[in-house]
Amino acid sequence: MLEVAGLSAWYGEARALRDVGFRIEEGELITLVGRNGAGKSTALRCLMGLHRQMRGSVRLRGGEISAWSPERRARAGLGFVPDDRGIYANLSVEENLLLPPQIGRTEWPLERIYQAFPVLQARSNHAGSKLSGGEQQLLAIARALRMGARVLLLDEPTEGLAPVLVQQVRQMLAEAKREGMTMLLVEQNLRFATAVADRHYLLAQGEIVETLDNAEVLAREHELLRHLGV
């Protein structure tokens, strides 16, 4: 579904990614894990076409998309939930959900979004600026699902969330995965990552240094937590 090869990126003269490569099969959920500054968020921005100082190959469903604009990638089914959430502060929750165009058939119409996230239904008429950080995160994820994205890029979706909201996000990702959604998740919470993901790519200083399955992550949890600085 998504294949990356030789991905390198810079900020001016500083190199943020060095020949990163990985692939995600349809319906898989994988994570990029690494300490702050390892290049995880930069990798997501490169995949979405938002970071232009880069080189390498990005293929979606077998087709090369490296030269595509972010808008064209979104229309092709690539959805992005950034760490800053991108909520329209002056629009209501429902307006935030309905404003982006639907790009194809969606398994997550508005009614199902409200069923899965009762807090969003309860606040459907509230402005985005009136939501808590956790509620804004749920809204950002729900918006990408309603648009009909087939591949989701999620940047730290559980950061700053209360445990009850983390559980809601976990249930939503598990349900989306059961329906064939493909996802790439940047996540520091190792317990959360192993609960939802198929495998994990460990990023250090802009390079992928290991590929780990869930059993390996759990067996090396203390070592990895030290590595991540958590």
Query: H helices then E strands: how many in the chain?
Result: 10, 10
| Residue % of the chain over a pLDDT of 90 | 53
d(CA 181, CA 152): 8
State residue 57 phi and psi, 5-degree precision.
Answer: -110, 135
- Output the pTM of the full model: 0.90
In the block, which residue shows the tokens 């939930």?
Answer: 81
**C-alpha distance from residue 57 to each of 68, 73, 99, 141, 182 (Å):** 11, 14, 31, 26, 19
Q: Which residue stretches of the chain have pLDDT < 70?
A: 229-230
Q: What is the CATH number of the domain that holds 6?
A: 3.40.50.300
pLDDT for 111-132, tens place per residue?
999 988 888 999 999 999 898 8
Two structure tokens written together for 178: 């059961």
Two structure tokens written together for 24: 């995600």
Q: What would the DSSP string read from start to end of 124-150?
A: TTSBGGGS-HHHHHHHHHHHHHHHT-S
Name the residue range of residue 117's domain.
Answer: 2-228
Structurally, how many domains does the chain consist of? Answer: 1
